[in-house]
Amino acid sequence: MSDALVKFKILDSTGFSTHEKPAAEALEYIRSYIQQKGGWFYLDKTLANPESITPEDLQNASIVTITNMIVGGTDDTELRIS
């Protein structure tokens, strides 16, 4: 089962790219990508820690995605609550 290919998508500011690799290689790639570039990792639309998953988890997932981190906030220095 470890030779099964895993398809995953990386979303970034330029759009997205799709990759397909054997499960162990895909996991190594995903961990390296997150470590170097940051981002969020999702398995079946659920936020996951790539250090806590196995190649089998990747194989069993329907959707595997890496996205940029989204940071929210406001430029206002004062917040008033009425």
Hunting for tokens 């806590």 — which residue is that?
52
Domain 5-67 fold: Ubiquitin-like (UB roll) (3.10.20)
Interatomic CA distance for residues 59 and 6, integer angstroms: 6
| pTM greater than the 0.95 cutoff | no
Residues, the chain, total?
A: 82
What are the domain boundaries of the chain? 5-67
Interatomic CA distance for residues 79 and 47, integer angstroms: 30
Token digits of residue 34? 């997150």
Asked if residue 27 has pLDDT above 90, the reply is yes
Closest CA to 28 of 46, 47, 2, 61: 2
Give tens-digit pLDDT for 38-82: 999 999 999 999 999 999 999 999 999 999 887 665 555 555 565
